Structure 1
Amino acid sequence: MSVKQSSSFRSILSTTSLVAAFLGPVAFANAQQAGDEVLEEIVTTATQRQQTVQDVPIAVSAFGADELQRAGVTDLRDLTNIAPSLFLTSSQSEVAGAVARIRGIGTTGDNSGLESAVAVFIDGVYRNRTNNALTELGAVERIEVLRGPQGTLFGRNASAGLISITTKQPTYEFEGYGEISYGNYDAVRIGAGLSGPLVENKLAARIDGVYFERDGFIEDKVTGEDYNDRDRFLIRGQLLADPSEDLSLRLIFDYSEREENCCAAVVIVPSAVSNAMIGVLGAQFGSGALPGEDPFDRRSATSEGRGFQQDAEEWGLSLQADWSTSIGELTSITAFRNWKSWRSQDIDYTSLDIAFRDEDGFVQEFETFSQEIRLNGQWGKLDWLVGAYFADEDLAFDDAIRFGRDFTAFADLLVDLADGIPGNGLTAGGAPWPGYNALAALVSGGAIPVAFPEGFGVVQDMFRQNSENWALFTHNIYALSETVDLSVGLRYTEERKTVDARVVTNNPTCLALVQAAGLGAIPASLTTLPCAPFWSPLLDVEGSDKRKEERLTGTVALNFTVTDNLSTYGSYSRGYKGGGFNLDRAGMIQGAPDPSQLQFEEEVVDSFELGAKYRSSDRKLVVNTALFYSDFSDFQLNAFNGTSFVVVNLPKAETYGVEIESQWLPIAYLSLAGGLTYAKTEYGSDFAGPEFAPPSPGNPLGGAFWQLPGNTLTNAPRWSITGSATWQQPIGDGFELLVHLDGRYTSKVNTGSDLDLEKEQDGVFLLNGRIGVGEIDGRWQVELWGRNLLDKDYIQVAFDGPLQGSGTRANTIAPNTQVYNAFLAEPRTYGITLRGRF
C-alpha cells in the first residue's frame, strides 16, 4: 500500500505565503527604528575556528537561539523543520533505532555495531550514536548542520555530515529564565535555568533543566495502554573559569533520563491469511484483535503482558581549556560519557504472544573517554591548525528474544496452512502438503518435541566490544592572494576493535527438526520458522575476534572572493566511517558460527562540491547555493528481511544534487527564509550475491534485497523544501507581537530497507506555527503554538511483519500473505507556552 497523505506541491503554494521565502535558516536583529533590521551573522565552527557562515567554503546551515526558539526546536527531531537536507526518523525504539540522514545518506537500523554516518557533537564532544542525542537539548546558543564528509576536523563517522550543538555557557551577569508549556495529549514541558558570577570576572556558574511528559498517540486495543509517549528530563551544570586573560576553562556536567513506552507499530497492509490465523488462535486463547482497520486510527494490537517499555540513562563530564600561547591558540577537550538503555518489546506486533523481549531483554551500555588537542595559529598568510584525538569506547550489548505462550499453536497452524490441511480452521481442506504426514508421524512418535515452551528461545546474546581510535590531523588556510584562499586538510586515523561474543539458545525442537531434515524425513523448509536466526541454537558460540584499520582522509578547497558581496568555492573531500562487528547473532553462519563472521568493512566516500554565497550590501538578503556529488564505496547497509537484520557492505552508493538557502528582510518587521534540496541518492547497479538475485521460477521471492540495485536509498527524498515567515512588530507601549509560520515539503520516499512498493510514502507537507505577545525586551512572553497543523498522516518506517508471510523466506508461504507494519509519525500537536526571563 502506498500511503497517500500529502498535498501536491501546487496546493502547498496556495496554502501559505511561505513561497515568498526561498530556502534556509534566518535570524535577524531588532533595531529601535523600523526598517533598521539586518540579518544577524551567526558564527560557525565548521573549520574549528570562529568564522561566519558566509566565510567558510563549506555547505553549512547555522541556527541561532532566537530562530531555534521561534521554530520550536527542543530536540534534534524538531531541527528537520528548518534544515532541508536533514532527515531524521526512528523505528522500533528511540533509544536504539534513530537514524539521521543528510543528502539522503544515513545508517539504517538499530544495530549498535554500526556507527552513524551523521555525527552528532554537543559542546565539542562526540555522541556515540544518533539515539544517544535524542533527548531534550536545554538552553542552546546555536546549532550547525554541516553537509558532506567532515572527517578531517571532526574525525570518524561523519561521512555524510554532522550536527554540532553549542549550549549556552555561564555568564558574568546574573540572569535566569523559566518556561512552562501545556498541550494536547496532556503534554507538559518545564524548562528553567540560572546563570551568574561566583567570583567577579573569574568564576561563573550555570544550571539548566528540562522536564517533558506527554501521553502516547498510539492506543493498544487489547490492553488499553497508550504508546509512543514522552517522559524525560535533563539537567546540565557548568562552571566557567577565567584565571587569567590567556586561559579559560569550561567544565560541563549533564545527566538525562527517559522512561517511555515506545514504539508501537500499526498494520498498513494486512493479510487475509494472517488475520484468519489470528482469529482462529484468538478464539482458542481469548485474544486476537484483528489489524484490519485504518492505520491512522492509531491503534495497535499487543499481547497481554508484553509492551514497549524503554528506559535510558546518560551522564557525561567534559572539560574544555582554551589557552592563548605565544605561538597560537591551544584547545583541549577532555570528556567521559556513559549511556545505558533497557527495553522490552512485543516482537511480532500482534495480539498473539508469538515472540517477545522480556523486561530488560535488550540492554546497551556505552562508556567513552575522549581527548582532543588542537593548536591554531597564523604565520603570515598561513592560518594553520594541527591536532590529535584519542577515544576509548566500551560497548556492552545483551539481547534475548524468546517464544511467547502462543508460539506453539502459531507454528502448528502455519504448518497446517500449507496446501490446506483438513481441520485447520482456515481452509476447506485438501490433500496434505508433501512432508506433512512425515512430520506428523515424527511428532506423534516423540522423535520431535511437540511444543515451544514459553520463555524458551534465546537464553542470552552477549557482545562486549572495545574500540580505540587514534588520529592526527591538520587543517590549513593559505591566502594565495587578497581574493583567493586555499584550504588543505589531512587526517590519519587508526582504529582497533575487539569483540567477545557469547550466544546461548534453548530450543530443542529446532535441533530435532534439523536432524530430521538432514536425514530426509521432512523438507528442510519446515525448519525456517522454528530455526529462525532469532532463536536458532545452530548459532550458539563463544569466542572473540579483533580488527584493525588505518585510513587517510582529507580535504582541499579553493575560496574565491568575487566581490565584497559574493564568494564562490570548489572543494574535494574524502570521508570515512569505521568498519566493525555486526552485533547480531544473524551475522554468523548457522551450523558453523564464528565471531570473525561478524566483521564488516569501513565505508569510504569521495565528495565534490561547488558553491556560491551572496550577501547584499544592506545585509537584508543572503543566498547560498551548492552543487554536490558524493560517491560511497563499501556502503554499510543494515536491513530487516522478516526474520533477521542483515549487515552487508554494498559496493557503491551515490548522492548528487543541488542546495539553495536564502534569508530575506523585505520590509520592516517581516523576515522570510527557506531552503531547497534536490538530492538523487541511489545504490549502484552491479551487485553480486544471492540476496540481490531477482525473482525466478526456481526462486519466486527473489533475494531479500533484489530491489536495491540501481534504486533510491530508503527514506531519501528527491526534493526537500523548507520555508518560514516571521512577523515581529512592536505594539502598544513596550510590547511586541510575534507571528511565525514554518513548513517543510518532502517528496515521495520508500521507507523500507528492502524497497518493497508497499512501503512507499507519498510526499508530505507539514505546517507549523506560533503566535504570541510579550514585552519587547523578552522579559515575558505568551505563545500559542501548533505542529503539523494540517494534521497530516504519514509513516516513518515500514517493515515486514516479523515471522508472518513471505518474510519467513519459507516455500510454504506465498508472497501475498505478507503483513506489512509501520511506525507512524506524530499527529497534530498544539498548546500554550508561558516564558519569562530576568
Structure 2
Amino acid sequence: MSMTLALLLATQAAAPAQSADEPPTAPSETLAEPPEDAGRLGTAQQGGGDIVVTARRRAETVQSVPIAMSVIGGTALAETGAYNVSRLTQLQPTLQFYSTNPRNSAANIRGLGAPFGLTNDGIEQGVGIYVDQVYYSRIASATFDFTDTERIEILRGPQGTLYGKNTTAGAINISTRKPSFDTEARAELTGGNYDFFQGKFSLSGGLVDDVVAARVSGSITTRRGTIWNTRQQEWQNSQDNIGLRGQMLFQASPNLDVTLYADYARQDPNCCVQYYVRTGATQRATNRQYAALAAAFGYTVPSTNAFDRVTDVDSDLQALQELGGASALANWNLGAGTLTSVTAWRFWHWTPSNDRDFIGLPITTVSANPSQQSQFSQELRFASDTKGPIDYTLGAFYFYQTIDTQGLQMQGPAASRFLLNPGNSPFGANGCATATTAACSPAVLNGLTSRNTIGFKNTSAALFGKLTWRAAENLEIAPGLRVNYDKKEGDYVATVTTGAGSMTLNNDQRGVLAPQSYQPQFDNWNVSGDITVSYDFTPDVHYYATYARSYKSGGINLSGLPLDAANNPILQVQTIDPETVNHFELGLKTQFWDRKATVNIAAFWTEIDDYQATVNNQQVGVLRGYLANAGKVRTRGVEVDSAFRPTSGLNIYVNGAYTDAKYVRFTDAPCPPELAGGTTVTGTQRPSPAGTNGPNRTAGLSPESCDISGQVLPGVSKWAFSYGAEYGIPTVIAGREGQVYIGYDGSYRSRFSANPSPSAYTNVSGYSLSNFRAGFKTDEGINVFAWLRNAFDENYYEVLATQSGSTGLIVGQPGDPRTYGVTLSTSF
C-alpha cells in the first residue's frame, strides 16, 4: 500500500473535533480558561474558534501547540456517552484501554504504556492520568465516571519534561469545571435499556463577592448486568457508581488564587466475569485438554457461544473500589511569571472477588487481592510570561506512595485433575487417578491455600524544565530536560497450607502454590530530555519536529516469582530494568477553507530498549504472570485528525491511525498456548509442532521459551478509525429557539493480539461500532436527545485470555450489546 493511500485511509479516523460555537479566544499570560464548549464533537478547531488548552502548562491554542493531541469537551462526552476513559477509545484511535476489572486495567497510546495482562503493582504506567493537574498513580482510578468535566486533552508521545511522573507514551489531562462567581447550575438525567440510569448535577456560585467561590458536583450510574449467571441466578457485569466532587476558589488578591479540591467515588458493580469462548489444542496430553477434563466431571458450559451472554462461574464476583482525595492548587503571579503549587493526597481501596478458572467447576474457588493504596505528591512550577523571545517553565516534583495488599488464593476439589499431570496411571470416574497415584487424589490440591502479604513503598523526585526560544518570527526551538530519581521497596510473603492445614508441601503442591518470601529493592537516577523545532508557514499552517529520549522507572515483581525446576522462587528476577525510550515525530497542523477545515497529521517512530513485559513461566497453576525485560520493541505509524464545517449546521470529523507495533528483539519470551503445556525439551530434542499432543497420557514437547522477535505487540490494532457528523436545523419548539439535530459516531479497529506472545487462539477480530443520536437543543442550555449505541448489535470482544494450566480453554469478555435511551440536560 502506498503512503499516499495510507494517508487517505488514515484520514477516515482519529479524534472528535472541537467547538467553534464561541468567539475566538486569545491565550493570556496565565492559564486562561477555554470556551465553555471547547472540544464539542464535530465542531472543533474551525469556524473561527480557537480552542485554548494547557498541554504545555500555559494557555495556548490547540493548533499552535507542537504536540500531537486531541481535545474532547464536556458536551461531546455527554452526547457520545463517553463517561469514562474506557469509552474514549471509540473516539480516539490511538488510545487503547483494556480492563478485566478496575485493578487489572491498562491504558496505552500508540501501543505503549503498560504491559498487557494482569496488573503488577511493582511497575508504573507509561500513560499518565492527570485530573486538575494531579497525577493519579493507579490506572484503576481512571475507571471513575467523569463528573463535571470541562475538557479532556489526550497528548500522544513522551511528555516527561513537563508532567510530574512517567509519561513515556503520553498523557490524559482531565480538567473539571472551575468555581464561578456567577451562580450557575447544571443537571443531566439519562435512562436506557438494561435498567440504565445516570444522573449528574453541579452547582456553583460566589460565597464572598469576588473573593470566594465554590462548586459542588456529583454523579450516579447504575445498570443491571448484561451476562446471566445460570448457577448464581443473577445478572453480572453490572454498574453501580457514585461520585462527589467539591471545589472552593479563594481569590486572595488580584495576583494570587488558591483552589481547594476534594472528591470521593465508590464503585460496587457485580463484576467482572470472563467466560468460555473457544478451545485450542495445547501440547498437553489429549486427556489433559479442556474437553477431556470437563467430560471427566460430566461438565458442560451453559453455552459455547459467548454472545448468548450466559455463564455459570461458581465464585462470587465483586469489584468494590473506593477512591478519593484532596488537593490544593495555588497560582501566584509574580510579574515576571507565575508560580504554581499543586499539593495532593489520594487513596484507593480495592475489595475484589474473582473466578479465575472461568467455569462452573471448583478449580480455583477463591482468588482475591484486596489492596489499600495512598499517595502524596507535591509539584512546584514557575512559568515565565510570554512577552519576550524566550519563555520557560521550571519545576520540581515529589511523589510518595504506599500499597498494602492481602492476597488469598484457594484451590478446590477439581484442581488436582485440572492442574496436575498424573504420569501414566489410569483415571477413575471421579475425575482423578486411582489410588495407586497419590499425586492425582483430589485431596492433594483441595483446600490448598496461599495467603499473601504484600507491601510496597514508592518514592520519586524530579527536577524538570522546558524552554521556548523564538529564534525568528515564525521559528521556535523548545528543548526540555528532566532529572529523575526513583526508589521502590517491596515485601512479599506467601504462606501456603494444605487442605489439612499443614505447611509441609509435596512437589505437586509447591508447583501450584509455592511459599515465597523476598524483599525486592530498586533505585536509580536517570536524565531525560527532548527538543522540538516548530515553524509557522502561515498563521494557519504549523510544522514541528520532535526528538525525545525518556525513561520509565524500573520496577519490582510483587505478584510472586517464577519457580525453578525444584519449584523454588528464582530470586534473580525480583527487579526489572527501566525502559529507555527514543522517540521521533514529525507533525503538520493545518487549517484552510476560511478555517472551516482542520487537518492535522503526525508521523512517529518510537523504540524502547528493555521493554517491560508481563510473562508467564509455564507453571500449570499460575494465575499471575511476572515482569521481565524484553530486549527491544518498536512502534511507528501515522495519525490524522481532521474536522470540517462546510455549513453552519453541519460538522464532520474523520480521524485515523496506522500503528505498526512489534517486538524487535524478544528471544526468551513465554510461548503461546499452542506451544505450551508439554514436556520441556532437553538436550537435542526438538519441540513438537504447535498444538501437537499424543493420545491419553502422552504430552508433546514444548520449548523452554520462544523467540517472538518481529511479532506484534499485544493490544494494538494496525488500523483504527473514528468518524462522525452532526447536522442541525434552526427550529423553534414551544417558544424556545434552538436546533433539531441528528448525529452519528462510528469507529473501527482491526484485529489485535490479546496475548503477550501472539497466538492464533487469542486474536481479537476487528470490529466496527455505530452510534446514533437525535434531539433538540436550545440556546438557553436545554438539550434532550435519544441515543442508540452499537446500533447494529455488533458482537465483539474487549479482551481474550487463557485458562491457567494449558488446558486450551480460551475465555473472553464481550463488549456491550446494543443499548438505547434518552438524555435530558439543562444549565441555568
> TM-score band (shorter)?
0.7 to 0.9
- Which of residues 393, 401, 407 in structure 1 aligns to 2:409? 401
**Would you say the 8 A contact 2:302–2:311 is kept in 1?**
yes
Per-residue deviation, residues 374-416 of structure 1 (Å, max 9, x unmatched) = 00114731111111000111111221111124335656xx656
Residue of structure 2 equivalent to 1:714: 714
Q: How does 1:77-476 map to 2 (within 5 A)?
A: 77-91=86-100, 93=101, 95-107=102-114, 108-109=116-117, 110-270=119-279, 273-282=289-298, 288-290=299-301, 293-303=304-314, 306-357=315-366, 361-378=368-385, 380-408=388-416, 421=426, 423-424=428-429, 440-441=435-436, 443=438, 451-452=443-444, 454-458=446-450, 460-476=451-467
**Would you say the 8 A contact 2:532–2:546 is kept in 1?**
yes
State the SS of the aligned residue for 1:585: coil
Counterparts of 2:94 and 2:149, CA distance in 1 = 21
**Would you say the 8 A contact 1:270–1:291 is kept in 2?**
no
C-alpha displacement at 1:454, in angstroms? Answer: 4.8
Per-residue deviation, residues 690-742 of structure 1 (Å, max 9, x unmatched) = 86998975443544762632111111011111111011221125132121111
Counterparts of 1:181 and 1:338, CA distance in 2 = 29
Q: Can you give the 5+ residue segments of structure 1 that lack an aligned partner in the other structure?
A: 1-9, 283-287, 428-435, 516-526, 806-817
State the SS of the aligned residue for 1:711: coil
Is 1:46 aligned to 2:55, yes or no? yes
Counterparts of 2:504 and 2:254, CA distance in 1 = 76
- Which of residues 733, 736, 740 in structure 1 aligns to 2:743? 740
- Which of residues 470, 484, 504 in structure 1 aligns to 2:475? 484
C-alpha displacement at 1:326, in angstroms? Answer: 3.1
Q: CA 1:491/1:171 → structure 2, altered by over 3 Å: closer, same or farther?
A: same
C-alpha displacement at 1:837, in angstroms? Answer: 1.9
Counterparts of 1:776 and 1:691, CA distance in 2 = 60
**Would you say the 8 A contact 2:166–2:551 is kept in 1?**
yes
**Would you say the 8 A contact 2:640–2:657 is kept in 1?**
yes
Q: CA 1:22/1:399 → structure 2, altered by over 3 Å: closer, same or farther?
A: closer
Per-residue deviation, residues 764-815 of structure 1 (Å, max 9, x unmatched) = 111112111132322x22211122111111112212112352xxxxxxxxxx
C-alpha displacement at 1:513, in angstroms? Answer: 7.5
Counterparts of 1:97 and 1:553, CA distance in 2 = 29
Counterparts of 1:219 and 1:828, CA distance in 2 = 16
C-alpha displacement at 1:237, in angstroms? Answer: 0.4
- Is 106-115 or 120-129 further displaced after alignment? 106-115
Amino acid at match of 2:788: G
Counterparts of 1:785 and 1:324, CA distance in 2 = 46
Counterparts of 2:797 and 2:250, CA distance in 1 = 48
Residue of structure 2 equivalent to 1:531: 510
State the SS of the aligned residue for 2:327: strand
State the SS of the aligned residue for 2:748: strand
Counterparts of 2:93 and 2:686, CA distance in 1 = 45
Is 1:660 aligned to 2:663, yes or no? no
Residue of structure 2 equivalent to 1:507: 498
- Which of residues 779, 797, 800 in structure 2 aligns to 1:798? 800
C-alpha displacement at 1:617, in angstroms? Answer: 6.4
Counterparts of 1:740 and 1:20, CA distance in 2 = 19
Counterparts of 1:335 and 1:270, CA distance in 2 = 48
Amino acid at match of 2:510: C
C-alpha displacement at 1:689, in angstroms? Answer: 6.8
- Which of residues 679, 690, 712 in structure 1 aligns to 2:659? 679
Counterparts of 1:729 and 1:597, CA distance in 2 = 63
State the SS of the aligned residue for 1:782: strand
Q: How does 1:682-697 map to 2 (within 5 A)?
A: 682-685=662-665, 687-688=667-668, 697=685
Counterparts of 2:10 and 2:491, CA distance in 1 = 55
Is 1:550 aligned to 2:525, yes or no? yes
Amino acid at match of 1:712: V
Amino acid at match of 2:304: E
Q: CA 1:346/1:508 → structure 2, altered by over 3 Å: closer, same or farther?
A: closer
Q: CA 1:195/1:511 → structure 2, altered by over 3 Å: closer, same or farther?
A: closer
State the SS of the aligned residue for 1:793: coil
Counterparts of 1:490 and 1:531, CA distance in 2 = 48
State the SS of the aligned residue for 2:761: helix
**Would you say the 8 A contact 2:666–2:708 is kept in 1?**
no
Q: CA 1:833/1:781 → structure 2, altered by over 3 Å: closer, same or farther?
A: same
- Which of residues 10, 16, 20 in structure 2 aligns to 1:29? 20
Is 1:615 aligned to 2:591, yes or no? yes
Counterparts of 1:68 and 1:581, CA distance in 2 = 37
Is 1:768 aligned to 2:771, yes or no? yes
TM-score between both structures, scaled by the size of structure 1: 0.86
Residue of structure 1 equivalent to 2:819: 829
Q: Can you give the 5+ residue segments of structure 2 that lack an aligned partner in the other structure?
A: 24-42, 281-286, 689-700
Cα-Cα RMSD: 2.9
**Would you say the 8 A contact 1:267–1:291 is kept in 2?**
no
State the SS of the aligned residue for 1:170: coil
Residue of structure 2 equivalent to 1:669: 649
Amino acid at match of 2:311: S
Counterparts of 1:463 and 1:28, CA distance in 2 = 48
Residue of structure 2 equivalent to 1:575: 550
When you count helix as a share of all residues, which structure comes out higher?
1
**Would you say the 8 A contact 1:289–1:301 is kept in 2?**
no
TM-score between both structures, scaled by the size of structure 2: 0.87
Q: CA 1:774/1:667 → structure 2, altered by over 3 Å: closer, same or farther?
A: closer
**Would you say the 8 A contact 1:544–1:596 is kept in 2?**
no
**Would you say the 8 A contact 2:598–2:644 is kept in 1?**
yes
Counterparts of 1:423 and 1:366, CA distance in 2 = 47
Counterparts of 1:512 and 1:668, CA distance in 2 = 77
Residue of structure 1 equivalent to 2:785: 783
Counterparts of 1:315 and 1:141, CA distance in 2 = 19
C-alpha displacement at 1:599, in angstroms? Answer: 0.9
Counterparts of 1:827 and 1:671, CA distance in 2 = 28
Per-residue deviation, residues 189-238 of structure 1 (Å, max 9, x unmatched) = 11111011101111100001000010111111222222111001100000
Q: CA 1:408/1:560 → structure 2, altered by over 3 Å: closer, same or farther?
A: closer
Identity of aligned residues (%): 28
C-alpha displacement at 1:86, in angstroms? Answer: 0.7
**Would you say the 8 A contact 1:221–1:289 is kept in 2?**
no
Residue of structure 2 equivalent to 1:3: none
Residue of structure 2 equivalent to 1:494: 485
C-alpha displacement at 1:354, in angstroms? Answer: 1.0
Q: CA 1:702/1:41 → structure 2, altered by over 3 Å: closer, same or farther?
A: farther
Q: CA 1:265/1:479 → structure 2, altered by over 3 Å: closer, same or farther?
A: same
Amino acid at match of 1:675: N
